[in-house]
Amino acid sequence: MAILDSLPGIEVTICVDGEPLLEYENNEDDIEIGIDEGVDEDVTKHQRSVTVKNYIESTAGSFFGIQCSVEDSYRYTGDCTEIGFHQIVDGIRLPSYDFVDIDDFFKSGFASTLFIEGAYLDSTEGDTLRTFKFVEIRSTHDNDKTVPTNATTKALSIGEIEVWVYREMFLMEDERREVGELTALNSEVTVIEEALKGKAVSHGTSYGKSEPIDITDWERFEFCGDGEDYPIAIFKFRYGSKKDLQALGVIERTPEPELELKFEPESMLEPKLKSEPEASQDPISAIATVPTASPNVALPMNPPNMNFHSLDPTQTGQLFGQFLQYLQTQGGIQSAQTPASSLQGTIATVIPAPPKFTRASINASVATPDPPVKREREENETGGRKKRRKQIGKHIIDLTENDSDDEIVIDLDSD
């Protein structure tokens, strides 16, 4: 609730659903007061001295009202007969105002409260009310031909509700007069985007549809004291979304939750490690179950029906090459940590000893070169050597143990 220390008893509050909004103190210098050309310096000083400024958080889509109170601590002075409350919303001075009559003030026990829920209008169709509502503003560029003519001026004061309080003198009852609908009271808020640069503003005030209402008193009055430029109080409420107020530093930003890192002592980790099943030490099963990392490397598999003894030399060489390529890619790290003896055992397990080849398999797959002839050296008992004579004829060498058909005949006469 905004209260001016120099004017006890007069309070103004912005309410939503009948509840006052939380107010945040605004200590910024109001440079907008007195910037118009021709404004007297004394007027500027006076208006600044009677101004109370607060921030409030607005919610788009919420209807709001202005609650004005005159309490017992206020004392009427001079010839004034009423306290008038004039509203300026987003820079637009509304055509009507509300007041507290001195007679009603005394009759009510020195306390009177007004609730202003919108703009009161008088027309030939009767008295109407257009309610206040917080809405999201629509920004556009200055070259948009559909932009209202007051869009640039409106952007300078958008997001602000003002209530100017005066001492007034009642003059006479006034007949209903045609003031018409104000074109400024639109159902949506459009401003020039360039005019909003540097301002944390996303909400404005719109006006609902005209609703019929019965206004009993229309009157003429005059300002007491020094006139309209010298109100006894000015209450300013700058409103905005929570994000707007956070950008202005009015509301603290919600800190992001910190990630909690939980460290377990080694004594708690040991039981977990012991409870986990040990990995299989069988290299063949490890190779068969670990997928290869590269699509271009074929992992040597060990199907249960594969018989290594049935492989020919070409197939054996291909399998051995695939295994070495796997060790260089996937098993490089593991092999670096594995002793050489363990690695040899692994290779021996995966790659069996070459089988005994038959002549049929040799002729089908591999062209076997002529084997070299091993010449035996004869030594005498004393370690001397004898000169050997060239043998004439043919010598048969058996390269196999069991198969008598695998014989190679070498002509020893050829040089």
pLDDT at 103: 82
58 shares a domain with 142: yes
99 shares a domain with 22: yes
At 394, is the pLDDT very low, low, confident or very high (cuts 50, 70, 90)?
A: low
| Neighbour count for residue 135 (Cβ, 10 Å) | 19
Mean pLDDT of 278-291: 48
Residues comprising the chain, all counted: 415
Sign of the Cα torsion 120, 123, 128, 131 reads negative
**51 Cβ contact list (under 8 Å, min separation 6):** 30, 33, 233, 234, 235, 236
Of 243 and 303, more confident: 243
Please name the residue ranges forming H helices in 266-311: 266-275, 283-289
120 shares a domain with 230: yes
Q: Is residue 66 a contact partner of residue 12, using CB atoms and an 8 Å limit?
A: yes
**60 Cβ contact list (under 8 Å, min separation 6):** 134, 135, 136, 203, 241
165 shares a domain with 119: yes
Q: Read off the amino acid at residue 172.
A: M
Tell me which of 200, 225, 247 is where a domain ends.
247
Q: Is residue 12 a contact partner of residue 68, using CB atoms and an 8 Å limit?
A: yes
Tell me which of 202, 231, 247 is where a domain ends.
247
Answer whether residue 217 shows pLDDT above 90.
no
181 shares a domain with 289: no
% pLDDT > 70, the chain: 52
Q: Answer whether residue 252 is part of any domain.
A: no
Q: Answer whether residue 265 is part of any domain.
A: no
At 74, is the pLDDT very low, low, confident or very high (cuts 50, 70, 90)?
A: confident
Across the chain, mean pLDDT equals: 70
* Distance from C-alpha of 299 to C-alpha of 128, rounded to nearest angstrom: 86
pLDDT at 109: 77
pLDDT at 120: 82
Q: Answer whether residue 182 is part of any domain.
A: yes
Name beta bridge partners: 15: 20, 65
Mean pLDDT of 225-234: 92
Q: Could you read off the pLDDT of 324-354 as tens digits, one per residue?
A: 887 877 655 454 454 544 444 444 444 455 5
235 shares a domain with 305: no
* Distance from C-alpha of 90 to C-alpha of 110, rounded to nearest angstrom: 32
Q: Answer whether residue 183 is part of any domain.
A: yes
Q: Indicate the pTM of the whole model.
A: 0.57
pLDDT at 238: 94
Number of domains the chain contains: 2
Residue from 159, 155, 142, 163 nearest 2 by CA: 163
Residue 335: left if φ>0, alpha if ψ -120 to 50, beta else—which one? Answer: alpha
Q: Answer whether residue 388 is part of any domain.
A: no
Range of the domain at 190: 2-247
Q: Which helix (H) or strand (E) holds 170?
A: strand 160-173
Answer whether residue 358 shows pLDDT above 50.
no
Answer whether residue 169 shows pLDDT above 60.
yes
Of 368 and 104, more confident: 104
| Neighbour count for residue 158 (Cβ, 10 Å) | 24
At 392, is the pLDDT very low, low, confident or very high (cuts 50, 70, 90)?
A: low
pLDDT at 172: 78
Q: Is residue 319 a contact partner of residue 311, using CB atoms and an 8 Å limit?
A: yes
Answer whether residue 383 shows pLDDT above 80.
no
pLDDT at 84: 92
Q: Answer whether residue 259 is part of any domain.
A: no
* Distance from C-alpha of 188 to C-alpha of 225, rounded to nearest angstrom: 38
Answer whether residue 54 shows pLDDT above 90.
yes
24 shares a domain with 101: yes
pLDDT at 401: 53
Answer whether residue 237 shows pLDDT above 90.
yes
308 shares a domain with 207: no
Q: Answer whether residue 390 is part of any domain.
A: no
pLDDT at 223: 92
Tell me which of 222, 247, 272 is where a domain ends.
247
Task: Give the DSSP per-residue string, 306-344.
Answer: --GGG--HHHHHHHHHHHHHHHHHTSHHHHHHS-HHHHH
At 2, is the pLDDT very low, low, confident or very high (cuts 50, 70, 90)?
A: confident
Residue from 13, 50, 82, 88 nearest 231 by CA: 50
Q: Could you read off the pLDDT of 292-323 as tens digits, one per residue?
A: 444 444 444 555 556 666 777 787 788 778 87
233 shares a domain with 319: no
190 shares a domain with 303: no
298 shares a domain with 237: no
How many C-alpha atoms does 148 have within 13 Å on its Cβ side?
Answer: 17
Q: Is residue 168 a contact partner of residue 83, using CB atoms and an 8 Å limit?
A: yes
300 shares a domain with 216: no
Q: Answer whether residue 414 is part of any domain.
A: no
pLDDT at 395: 52
Mean pLDDT of 200-219: 80
